[in-house]
């Protein structure tokens, strides 16, 4: 091959990797060649969007098994609409086991610039949700930060975490296939994101609630090593995974509901997905209430240790990390109207059921009343439940990183939503980080103050994705969390770096062991 011919081939390869095509109407559509085939997206506000790109094959053929790469296609595949969500017991639309799809937003295709990649993992514990919600739209974030944004769907609940390895060796991966889906999506990014203008060596994973917990788990999974380079968890931690014996008990309870035994285990592969979803309401045999919990399993194959127990995972020591929570986490998911009319007589029993640690409610009540003069039973309830069950894991993770000499950046969102009952609740930071305060489902509203907060938090996450440091002109100087100072960025108007916020509450609840719910 002559040098001229070789150069021409390289140019043609670059053109097919990412081009803009013009349709009959004169509108331009972005086209990118991926490892499985070409995809065509749309352009909005100067940002190219590709929705519903397969990163894995249909899991109906591999139920409870490790995911497989997508089957290549010929011709041009339109990537104009979100792919299906994993089957789940929610009102999430368009559910299917064929759910391994991702979405990409980018300012440029086919160019020379390589942009940081912001890879978002949705919340919903390990049981529900998808990457298709309006508040996850990546246009504003990609435009503001000149970054590439990716969101994904993956298998959830029993489809992603039902542990069957003890019943049949063919399902040796079953307890963690939801995590393996995410790793497959990250491998897709490594192989393909350059064609979308992204830098495969600067991939930040970030996620809220269950998404953050999935990230914490990946930081201890050997197969995840090298697939991402920064990590940010938003109100989502995973100190311990499900132990295999507890996972087996949950599996047995779930299978009993379905009428499945080891003798007829093969039928589990062909049951309609609706029956599996219905069985998710099985009472959890460990927790003793609610639907059965499914999450990552300490299977000694894909997960060889607990994510942040007994210490921070050494394999992720070189990955910069942000760990965040909101001031009023539990106001989002403890929604019983009676909580807002609590009496002092009712409070102890309510606390006992919701703190998720074994401590005398009377001691907690006495302490909070001494700290906050005139506090109401309702406000005490939400402060104590947030401190005992939602903040504890975040503090533990931040402490373990600090002890290991690889400290994380810790933050707390104090800025309150317009809902006086919900305040700075769980999920408050999602539309702020995505700069999507005007989108459906944004609890923040779209006031001037909300937009200021969105500018601040989105710029912070963009800076972290690009450099591994969250510092930027919109916030004060931010130093990582240390055991001596417990530095925490408080996101409010104005933002400020605070030492050991809620320190009295931290000291109260660290007197008792923390056991992560479900594990």
Q: Does the structure show a pLDDT above 90 at 11?
A: no
Task: Report, as an integer, the average pLDDT of 391-412.
Answer: 97
Q: Does the structure show a pLDDT above 90 at 378?
A: yes
How far apart (Å, rounded) are the C-alpha atoms in residues 62 and 178?
12
pTM, two decimal places: 0.95
Identify the pLDDT of residue 23: 59
Residue-wise pLDDT tens digits, 112-144? 899 999 999 999 999 999 999 999 999 999 999
Pairing outcome for strands 321-326 and 409-413:
parallel
Q: Does the structure show a pLDDT above 90 at 25?
A: no
Class of domain 23-319: alpha beta
Identify the pLDDT of residue 263: 96
Residue-wise pLDDT tens digits, 420-472? 999 999 999 999 999 999 999 999 999 999 999 999 999 999 999 999 999 99
Residue among 132, 174, 209, 235 flagged as catalytic:
209
- Percentage of the chain with pLDDT > 70? 96
Sheet holding 321-326, edge to edge: 42-44, 47-54, 101-106, 148-152, 115-121, 198-208, 230-234, 321-326, 409-413, 487-491, 496-499
Instruction: Tell me the backbone φ, ψ of residue 260, rounded to 5 degrees.
Output: -105, 135
426 in active site:
yes
Task: Report, as an integer, the average pLDDT of 158-186.
Answer: 98
Class of domain 320-509: alpha beta
Structural domain boundaries of the chain? Answer: 23-319, 320-509
Residue among 108, 329, 459, 505 flagged as catalytic:
329
Residue-wise pLDDT tens digits, 294-339? 999 999 999 999 999 999 999 999 999 999 999 999 999 998 899 9
246 in active site:
no
Structure tokens at 488: 């925490």
Residue-wise pLDDT tens digits, 52-62? 999 999 999 99
Residue among 48, 154, 327, 426 flagged as catalytic:
426
User: In the chain, what is the straight-line distance between the N-terminal and C-terminal CA atoms, in Å?
Assistant: 60
Residue-wise pLDDT tens digits, 186-230? 999 999 999 999 999 999 999 999 999 999 999 999 999 999 999
122 in active site:
no
Instruction: Tell me the backbone φ, ψ of residue 117, rounded to 5 degrees.
Output: -110, 130
Task: Place 2 in a pLDDT band, splitting at 50, 70 and 90.
Answer: very low
How far apart (Å, rounded) are the C-alpha atoms in residues 115 and 131?
21
Q: Does the structure show a pLDDT above 90 at 22?
A: no
Asked, colleague to colleague, whether 23-319 and 320-509 share their fold, the answer is yes
**Angle between helix 347-354 and helix 377-385 axes, rounded to 10 deg:** 20
Lowest mean pLDDT among 230-239, 257-266, 331-340: 331-340
Q: Does the structure show a pLDDT above 80 at 508?
A: yes
Q: Does the structure show a pLDDT above 70 at 41?
A: yes
C-alpha 159: how far from chain center? 18
How far apart (Å, rounded) are the C-alpha atoms in residues 45 and 64?
40
Q: Does the structure show a pLDDT above 60 at 15?
A: no
Residue-wise pLDDT tens digits, 69-84? 999 999 999 999 999 9
Q: Does the structure show a pLDDT above 80 at 16?
A: no
Residue-wise pLDDT tens digits, 418-427? 999 999 999 9
How far apart (Å, rounded) are the C-alpha atoms in residues 375 and 366?
11
Structure tokens at 492: 């409010």
């Amino acid at each position: 091959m002559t040098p001229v011919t070789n150069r021409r081939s390289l140019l043609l390869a670059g053109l097919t990797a990412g081009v803009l095509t013009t349709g009959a109407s004169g509108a331009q559509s972005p086209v990118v060649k991926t490892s499985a085939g070409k995809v065509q997206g749309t352009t909005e506000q100067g940002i190219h969007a590709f929705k519903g790109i397969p990163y894995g094959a249909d899991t109906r053929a591999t139920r409870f098994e490790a995911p497989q790469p997508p089957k290549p296609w010929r011709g041009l595949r339109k990537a104009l609409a979100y792919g299906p969500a994993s089957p789940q017991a929610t009102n999430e639309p368009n559910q299917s086991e064929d759910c391994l799809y991702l979405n990409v937003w980018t300012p440029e295709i086919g160019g020379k610039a390589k942009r940081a990649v912001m890879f978002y993992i949705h919340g919903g514990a390990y049981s529900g949700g998808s990457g298709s919600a309006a508040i996850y739209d990546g246009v504003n974030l990609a435009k503001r930060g000149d970054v590439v944004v990716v969101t994904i769907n993956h298998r959830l609940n029993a489809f992603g975490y039902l542990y069957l390895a003890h019943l049949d060796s063919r399902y040796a991966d079953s307890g963690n296939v939801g995590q393996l889906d995410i790793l497959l999506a990250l491998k897709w990014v490594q192989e393909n994101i350059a064609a979308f203008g992204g830098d495969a060596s600067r991939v930040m994973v970030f996620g809220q609630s269950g998404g953050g917990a999935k990230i914490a788990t990946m930081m201890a999974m050997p197969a995840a090593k090298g697939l991402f380079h920064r990590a940010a968890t938003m109100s989502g931690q995973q100190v311990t995974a499900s132990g295999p014996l507890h996972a087996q008990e949950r599996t047995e309870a779930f299978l009993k509901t379905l009428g499945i035994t080891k003798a007829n285990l093969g039928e589990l592969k062909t049951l309609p997905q609706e029956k599996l979803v219905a069985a998710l309401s099985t009472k959890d045999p460990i927790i003793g209430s609610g639907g059965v919990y499914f999450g990552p399993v300490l299977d000694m194959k894909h997960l060889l240790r607990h994510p942040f127990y007994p210490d921070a995972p050494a394999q992720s020591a070189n990955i910069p990390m942000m760990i965040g929570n909101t001031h009023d986490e539990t106001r989002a998911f403890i929604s019983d109207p009676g909580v807002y009319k609590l009496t002092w007589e009712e409070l102890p029993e309510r606390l006992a059921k919701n703190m998720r640690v074994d401590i005398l409610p009377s001691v907690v009540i006495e302490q909070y009343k001494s700290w906050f003069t005139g506090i109401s039973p309702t406000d005490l309830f939400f402060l104590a439940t947030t401190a005992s069950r939602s903040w504890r894991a975040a503090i533990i993770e931040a402490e373990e990183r600090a002890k290991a000499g690889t400290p994380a950046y810790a933050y707390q969102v104090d800025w309150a939503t317009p809902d006086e009952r919900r305040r700075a609740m769980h999920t408050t930071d999602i539309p702020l980080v995505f700069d999507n305060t005007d989108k459906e489902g944004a609890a923040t509203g779209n006031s001037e103050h909300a937009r200021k907060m969105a500018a601040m938090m989105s710029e912070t996450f963009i800076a972290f994705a690009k450099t591994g440091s969250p510092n930027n002109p919109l916030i004060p100087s931010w130093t990582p969390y240390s055991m001596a100072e417990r530095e925490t960025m408080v996101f409010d108007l104005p933002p400020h770096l605070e030492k050991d916020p809620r320190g009295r509450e931290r000291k109260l609840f660290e007197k008792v062991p923390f056991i992560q719910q479900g594990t």
